[in-house]
Every structure is written in structure tokens, then in C-alpha cells.
Structure 1
Amino acid sequence: MASMSSSLSAAVAGVYKRVLPCPPAIEFSSHEGKALFTEALADGLMNGFFKLVSTFQTQAEPAYCGLTTLSVVLNALSVDPGRTWKGPWRWFDESMLDCCEPLESVKKNGITFSKVACLAQCAGASVQAFRASESSLDMFRSFVEMCVASDDHHLIVSYDRRIFKQTGTGHFSPVGGYHRERDLALILDVARFKYPPHWIPLPLLWEAMNSIDEVTGKSRGFMMIFKRSKAPCYLFTLSCKDEHWRAICKYVLVEVPQLLRSQVFDNPEQVICTILGSLPAAIASFVKWVVEVRPAVDGPLQKIDKDENQRLLYKSEVLQQLRETKVSRLIANINASYCGRTSANENLEDMAWQACCQGAAAFTGINCLSNIKCIKKEANVATKGEMERAVVFSNRVLLNGCEQVVDALVPKLPSSTSTTDICECSSVEDSFYPSTRDLLAILLIALPASTWEELSNDYVHQEICQMISIEDLPTELQLEVEHVFEQLVLLKGSCAE
């Protein structure tokens, strides 16, 4: 008997779930909850439930509710993450949602409302976010009804658990259904280890969203996430993970309007020159160009397939359209030095190498780039046929002791395109992917219209507005500008937090 007892392990005390406070909640699996489900289903207000429950998961960390909720919604919408999760499978997981906030920070402190909205867009979805303080109960109810009746629009709510008499404070979860007659919303709680799915009176949910987040000093809210009509294929993205992003965002959205208000300008050239002359040095870390990468399983410099070629051609056309805008030409005419205003290591080969390192980390699911070492860099121009214009950078990397080859696919402008008349500092790199001049041009065009309202000279204001108007731009470039503008709007909220 003694030998048996010595082999037993001591039990460790812990918490197994919580008792759901009812009321105000109604447990989904209860008799009443099932009846509510049946009635809401017959009313056509449970359509979104089935996609959500098909991808539903429990948050892996106590503070991961925002990441888990977004993972569930992105997978329910069939948004392709463009990177592997495990083995060959592409599937959103919390660990992949790190473009806006380091995972260690989220694990420790959670994540804010604006950051979740920013993450949704970074992940490839479209998002409409509303703080409760800036909307209304009727508006919220209309979004709830629209989303639960659809299987391609889903609603995420950020609320204070204490309003429901639950333990904890701020929380994120998706809304899975709505009972119109009793005005109840179905909360699919991603903390399944704590509370089961439950019905909550919609006015009470609104009250919980209209509470103040003590971290940001702003109210919580709701956001509608939906899939874009076509897969994103963008040249540029705004980075809110780099340490400089807050200062640059503040400069772009706050200090530039103040700068325009404080001076009198005689022509558009003076306006652009003043803005460029006061730009933070780290602007290239805020506006970044997107490089497509792929693992080169059979060795470097593989043939570019049809889909890859189409995306590269699309990006090449957008870049060419951007360089033909008045803003881009004006930047070059003001001072050619702005075209090459880059850090010493900001050349095409080095930046492609950085992209390959990030890709290698993403393909293997690691977060520490310090585990990656360069072995060899190679470049080759793929020129099969007139329609295939690309530079393939194949980098051999050592990843945790294992060698891996990663290709970076960089679109090349047509050989007939002349950059010398656009920018005196044109270089070999300038013929390929975006230079810093291009980053500045897209940023200026994407600035909110209110930025230029500070100009006191009506003539200059009119000229600038005409110059940055997107109405006459080609459709492809319009989509690019709208993407950057949407990111600016979302980052404005994050910056205020």
C-alpha cells in the first residue's frame, strides 16, 4: 500500500469554469436557450452562426480574447492568411495575428479595440469599426440584424463583463445570432473554459459596450468584419508595429495640418516642399512596400507561375500609375534628393532579404528573427515572354540550424519606362520596386481631405485638392489609395490610445 501511495501525484487546486449569472444571461444549451435558437433560426437571424461555429475555438491565453475572436471570424469568412499554420495548411491562428502588436504584449496586457480593427485589415479583411459613444443602440441593432442574417458579414463586440454580473472586465467575442421578439443577442464567448455561449438582452450589451476602457479612456464598441470582393494585392502597407509608428502617425495626422495652418503658401510646390522638409527620418519604417515571398522547395529561382505573374503585373501597373501622378512628379521636381532619402541599408537587395527572413519565420511559425542567418543571396530576372516581368531574389537562410531557400518576387517596370524624367536620382533599384519617393507620394494622396483645409490661400488649396484627388486616378491606383487611407483612419484611433 505504501508503494502505491508514493506513486500518486498531488492534485493542484484551480478553477473549473464559472457559474453563468442567469439572469441577465440565458445559457445557450438550456431548454430556454434552445427554444430561442429555434425561433431565431426560423426568423432567418441565425445564418451567420453556422460559419462561426464551424471555426469556433477557445482562446489559448487568458488575454487573447481579441485575437481568438478575430481568428474565428477570419476563418469563418474563408480569408486566406497567405502563410502556413501547421504543415501545409493555411489557417488563421492567434499566433499569426502579430502585425500590429507583439504577441508578448498582448499576452501580458490584452489588446485595444482599435488594434483589433487594425489587425482585421492587416489580415486581409474589410472592417467597419464603431465606438459605442459615437453610435447608438438603434444603429447597433441594425448592424446585429444585418450580420446575423448573413454568412459573409460577422460582428465582433468589445464589452465590459461586469455589466452582465460576470467576473473579469474587458472582453471580445463574436455575435452568433439575434432573437428579434425578445431583443436578445447570442454571445459566442471565446473563453469557453470560463463561460458557455449565452443570450444577453441587446440593450444590456449596448450598455456594456458603452463603458469606458480604463486603458484607453475611450468607450468600447463593435466592428463588422467582411471579406473583400477580391484578394488584396497591395503595393503598400502602414506599419504600426515599429517603435516609430506613433510619432510618425502623429506627424502625418496632427502636425502636418498645424504646419499648413501656421504658414502662408503661394503655390503647391511650397506646400509639398515644407511637408517633405519636416518629415521624420523613419518615414520608410511607417509606409512599407509589400513583398511576396514563397518557400523554394526545389531550390532557388523557380519559374513564376501564372497567378504569381498576374499579381506581379498588377503591382507593376499600379507603381507605373503612381509615378505618373502629379504628386509624384512634383516631389521629384522639388528636390531630387527626396527620391533617395533612405537609410544606408534601404536598397532592393537588402529589403528583399529582410522580406525573405520574415517569410522564413512565418513559414515555420517562429517569432524571433534573430534565429535566422543569411548564407547566400542570389538574384535573377525572370524574362519568359513579354508578360513576365519580375526579379526573383532567392536567399538561402539558416533557420534554427536548418537551411531553407526563400524567394522574394519583385515586379519590374517595363524596360520602356523612363525614370530619368521623373527623378534625377534614379537608380537600378528605382526601376523595380517602390522607392521612398513612391512611399511619400502614396501617403500624400491618401491623407484625409481635412488636412488641406488648413491652407489659407484659396488658389493653393484648390490646386492641391485637384492634385491629390483620386477621382481621375485609374481604378487600380484608387484601390491602393483607399487601402492606405483606411489604414490611416484605423491607426488614428490606435495612436490616440
Structure 2
Amino acid sequence: MNGFFKLVSTFQTQAEPAYCGLTTLVVVLNALSVDPGRRWKGPWRWFDESMLDCCEPLENVKKNGITFSKVSCLAQCAGASVQAFRANESSLDLFRSFVETCASSEDHHLVVSYDRQILKQTGTGHFSPVGGYHRHKDMALILDVARFKYPPHWVPLSLLWEALNSVDEATGKSRGFMMITKRAKPTCFLFTLSCKDQRWRAMCKYLLEEVPYLLKSRGFTTVEEVVYTVFGSLPADVASFVKWIVEVKPAVNGPIEKVDRDETERLRYKSKVLQQLRQTRALALITKWMEQNSVNSPEDESLQTAILQACCQGAAAFRGSNCYSNVKCFKKDVKESNVTSNGARGEAVVMSSRVLVDGCEQVIDALVPKRPSSGNVGGGPVLQQDGIDQVTLEENAFHPTTRDLLAVLLLALPPSTWEQIPDLSIHAEISRIVSRKELPHELQLGVEHLFEQAFFVSRSCTEEALTEEALIETKN
């Protein structure tokens, strides 16, 4: 019962009938003291369901619930470490070992996805955390987040396993269980993957299936040709798939005059990661490709536009709105001001946006690292490495742009992507360029985070494709 006391201190009832997956994650993430990377209300940093929307729009979850793979993806996006197992790819003995491990630990928690009908309960698919294990009776304690239906209850482990080892009709895949732990590495990342925009599926399929085929079927003489092949046929706006993480909060008592120490450290961290990215050969290759092919960044790729979008999304979450489209934003009211940061003046910038949510006006502040006062304006080359021009942080474009998103995506692609390149020397060179081992520590952590997210996203993409095929066959 060691894990019970942590879980019960954060235990809550799901806010919507279909929010069992989100609420289960909220309970577990708060029990693990995972930092959400932003404030909830007032000074408090605390997860609630409205924050868990990186893998599926909340309005979709409210209507249809959420799948097993999307829950594991959400946990990963939120900064936790996840080990997920489908029941048909596991065993009762392995499940029992995880139940016992998590029940006897304060920093390992188990989430189960099961069919209620097998437990003779009302409803179908459900998520909840496991709060304890009785070895002698071989029973697990389910902390049911649908507390309006059932209190916490003990279930024979063999029966719970049977409920896990059932098929989710929405995906045609087996249910299962996942162990969630707090990530030992920092979670202050600059980028994250997003599945909210429906274009992510085309992007996922292209990168994971079509790119390896293209690389196998073509002969290359330079690494530039490899990069141009990968991004020359990209199916959609990369900004719909790779997102820049911006910290926002409601404005209280007028303009912010200072940011606290933790906020300062996060801003410095993100600024450092972006500078590291812009000194990689991967970004230099992307920049060269964009220049040679006259690939222009979107016209709305300005700092003010990016901040306005972040503030609009934040306003909807703070307001409790499940629909981002209900938020009306006023670009004319975006204001910028320097603030004191940890005793020093001007290390951070606060950009405020005035937004309208459900008829109520809000002012949302976004925290942005102070743009450097010196540097190579315009992003021109400052040094060469292996014959490729390197670039530094632009004075008038601190925030990530299209080339940054493409570069970090290139670094985060699975190593297997390059295995089919026929020329061994080209294969070796591109592998060295995208090797995560050669990256600075902070950037390495960020790229590994994206890589881990991509694993869960790819599984979800495959599931949805199979589900759609099954539906088409059924209709035919």
C-alpha cells in the first residue's frame, strides 16, 4: 500500500463522463509531483484535465473518450516516463509483477485500461490507477476515478487481467496497463509534438513510412541531397506537428514587474536550447535547403503572432473552455515589456494579449526570454564546420521559426530512418550529423523527448489507420 498514500492525496473525480483517462493521469502526475511547466491558478503549479490536450483535442475526448495509446502519449507529453503494455503482448505474471512493484513504491504508479462489463459494472472501457495489492488474496485495489459510480474497490487480479485482456472496439486493439514514473531528467523542454491538428497523421505517415522508402530508392552523392529529399515533399505545415512551448498565465493586478527564480531558470534553459540548436550542422543544412529552394517561412511567423496564439489557447484552458475556437483574440492589444528577473533587469520579456472567452475579457501574459542585444542580425553565417555554414541566434527572432522546427525534427527521427541509404559513406555521414550523442546536453534531452513522443505518436497513428480501414471494410 506504499503507493496508495501518494495517490489518495491527489485523488479526484473525473470532471466529465468520458474523462476517465485524463483524470487518471492528473491523479498520477500530481502524485508524482511532475511539474506541469505552468501555473494552474494563482501561484500553484498543478495538473488538471484542461492541461492534457497535446495528443487529442479536449472536445473530442469529452465526446468520444480517449484511447490507450493516446493516454500513454499524453503522459509522455506531460513530462513523465511511461512503460506501456498491451495485454495480448504481455502475461498475467508480468502484470502481477508490475502491480506489486507499483503498490510497494511511492514513485511508480500503475494505470489500467479495462472493460467494466467483465467486472460486472456499468459502462465499457475505463481507466483508473491501481492503489494497492494484497499478495495473499492476489487482489488489486482500483481507485476508480468515476467516484459518482463506484468507490475504491478490490478486484481479484485474475479477473482484472481478463478485463485488461479485452479488445477496445474503437481501435480493434487490446487494452492494457502502463507504469508511469517521474522523469529523472529535466522536463523544461522547448519543443513538443502535437496531435491536435488532423494533419499530424499525414506528417507521421510520411516521416515514418514514405521517407525510408524514398531514401532506399534513390542514389545520393551528398548529405545535402538526403536532407532535401526528406523535406522536399513534406505534406503539411511542420508547425502543426512540432510546437514551441510557451509559458502563459492570467495577468493579475496589472503588468508583471518581475518573474520568480523558477521562471527565470526555465527561460534561460529554453534560450540555451535554442542557441544550441542553431549551432548544429542539422540546422545549417535546413537553412541552406530553404535558401536554395526559395522556401519561405509563413507570413504569420512573427513573435507577436506566436504569442497571441499561445495566449488564446491558454485563455481557453484557464477559463475551462473545451473549445479553442470559442476564443476571440485581439492582435492589436499584444504588448511587450521588459521585467526584472532574479534581481537583474531585462532578462525576460512579458508579452500580454487581450482575449475574449465566452464573452469575458481576459489579459494573458506570456513569458519569453530576453532577446540578445548583440549577435548576427538576420541569421547569417558566423563560422564553418565540415564545410557547412553555422548560424547563431537572431536578434529579432528569438522564438523558434520553421527552420528550427525542421532541424529539431530531423534530429528526432528514428536512427532506422537512414538505414536504407545505399551509399555507406553518405549513411555514415548523415548518421553522424543527426547523432544525439554528439549534441550538447540540454539539446540532447529535448531531442530525446521528441523521439520518445514520436514512438507513442507512431503507435497511435498506426492504430487510427487500422481503425479507419476496419470501418471502411465494414461499410463495404
- Matched-pair contact (CA < 8 Å) for 1:97–1:123: yes
Over alpha carbons, which structure has the higher Rg?
1
Which position in structure 1 is the counterpart of 2:189?
Answer: 234
Which position in structure 2 is the counterpart of 1:372?
Answer: 328
Question: Of the candidates 369, 390, 407, which is equivalent to residue 411 of structure 1?
Answer: 369
Change (3 A) 1:292 1:204: same
1:454 is paired with a residue whose SS is: coil
Partners of 1:213 and 1:191 lie apart in 2 by 19
State the one-letter code of the partner of 2:252: V
In the TM superposition, 1:246-265 aligns within 5 A as: 246-265=201-220
State the one-letter code of the partner of 1:443: L
Q: Does 2:308 align with 1:350?
A: no
Deviation at 1:433, TM superposition (A): 1.3
Which position in structure 2 is the counterpart of 1:395?
Answer: 353
In the TM superposition, 1:46-125 aligns within 5 A as: 46-82=1-37, 90-125=45-80
Change (3 A) 1:64 1:281: closer
Deviation at 1:161, TM superposition (A): 2.5
Change (3 A) 1:89 1:431: closer
More displaced 10-residue stretch of structure 1: 286-295 or 192-201: 192-201
Partners of 1:91 and 1:280 lie apart in 2 by 37
State the one-letter code of the partner of 2:47: F
1:215 is paired with a residue whose SS is: coil
Query: What TM-score, normalized by structure 1, do the two folds share?
Result: 0.83
Question: Of the candidates 446, 457, 469, which is equivalent to residue 412 of structure 2?
Answer: 446
Partners of 2:407 and 2:327 lie apart in 1 by 35
Query: What TM-score, normalized by structure 2, do the two folds share?
Result: 0.86
Which position in structure 2 is the counterpart of 1:467?
Answer: 433
Which position in structure 2 is the counterpart of 1:217?
Answer: 172
Partners of 2:195 and 2:52 lie apart in 1 by 13
Structure 1: give runs of 5+ residues left out of the alignment: 1-45
Deviation at 1:468, TM superposition (A): 0.8
Which position in structure 1 is the counterpart of 2:456?
Answer: 490
Question: Of the candidates 401, 408, 413, which is equivalent to residue 435 of structure 1?
Answer: 401
Partners of 1:440 and 1:153 lie apart in 2 by 35
Q: Does 2:115 align with 1:160?
A: yes
Which position in structure 1 is the counterpart of 2:231?
Answer: 276
State the one-letter code of the partner of 1:376: D
The percentage of aligned residue pairs carrying the same residue is 66
1:16-67 per-position Cα deviation (integer Å, ceiling 9, x unaligned) = xxxxxxxxxxxxxxxxxxxxxxxxxxxxxx1011122222223333322212
- Matched-pair contact (CA < 8 Å) for 1:300–1:405: no
Which position in structure 2 is the counterpart of 1:480?
Answer: 446
Q: Does 2:135 align with 1:180?
A: yes
Change (3 A) 1:200 1:289: same
- Matched-pair contact (CA < 8 Å) for 1:390–1:411: yes
Partners of 2:123 and 2:6 lie apart in 1 by 28
State the one-letter code of the partner of 1:479: L
Count of paired positions: 452
1:372-418 per-position Cα deviation (integer Å, ceiling 9, x unaligned) = 33151222455878895444322233444554332222224544543
Deviation at 1:84, TM superposition (A): 5.5
Deviation at 1:289, TM superposition (A): 0.7
Which position in structure 1 is the counterpart of 2:468?
Answer: none
2:457 is paired with a residue whose SS is: helix
- Matched-pair contact (CA < 8 Å) for 2:418–2:427: yes
Which position in structure 2 is the counterpart of 1:420?
Answer: 380
Deviation at 1:426, TM superposition (A): 9.4
Change (3 A) 1:480 1:340: farther
1:437-488 per-position Cα deviation (integer Å, ceiling 9, x unaligned) = 1111111111111111121211111111111111121111111011101110
- Matched-pair contact (CA < 8 Å) for 2:327–2:355: no
In the TM superposition, 1:199-210 aligns within 5 A as: 199-210=154-165
- Matched-pair contact (CA < 8 Å) for 2:25–2:75: yes
More displaced 10-residue stretch of structure 1: 402-411 or 236-245: 402-411
Partners of 1:48 and 1:286 lie apart in 2 by 36
Partners of 1:286 and 1:276 lie apart in 2 by 14
Which position in structure 2 is the counterpart of 1:22?
Answer: none
State the one-letter code of the partner of 1:281: A
Partners of 2:320 and 2:38 lie apart in 1 by 9
1:274 is paired with a residue whose SS is: helix
Partners of 2:105 and 2:237 lie apart in 1 by 43
- Matched-pair contact (CA < 8 Å) for 1:340–1:425: no
Partners of 1:398 and 1:215 lie apart in 2 by 36
More displaced 10-residue stretch of structure 1: 368-377 or 115-124: 368-377
Q: Does 2:248 align with 1:288?
A: no
In the TM superposition, 1:318-333 aligns within 5 A as: 318-333=273-288
Which position in structure 1 is the counterpart of 2:94?
Answer: 139
Deviation at 1:432, TM superposition (A): 0.7
Deviation at 1:276, TM superposition (A): 1.4
Deviation at 1:340, TM superposition (A): 6.1
After superposition, the CA RMSD in angstroms is 2.8
- Matched-pair contact (CA < 8 Å) for 2:26–2:48: yes
Deviation at 1:436, TM superposition (A): 0.9
Partners of 2:438 and 2:46 lie apart in 1 by 38
1:309 is paired with a residue whose SS is: helix
More displaced 10-residue stretch of structure 1: 137-146 or 395-404: 395-404
1:261-281 per-position Cα deviation (integer Å, ceiling 9, x unaligned) = 221222211110111111123
State the one-letter code of the partner of 2:369: P
Partners of 2:42 and 2:335 lie apart in 1 by 27
Which position in structure 1 is the counterpart of 2:473?
Answer: none
Which position in structure 2 is the counterpart of 1:130?
Answer: 85
Deviation at 1:342, TM superposition (A): 2.8
- Matched-pair contact (CA < 8 Å) for 1:412–1:433: no
Partners of 2:128 and 2:404 lie apart in 1 by 39
1:154-174 per-position Cα deviation (integer Å, ceiling 9, x unaligned) = 100111233334343222111
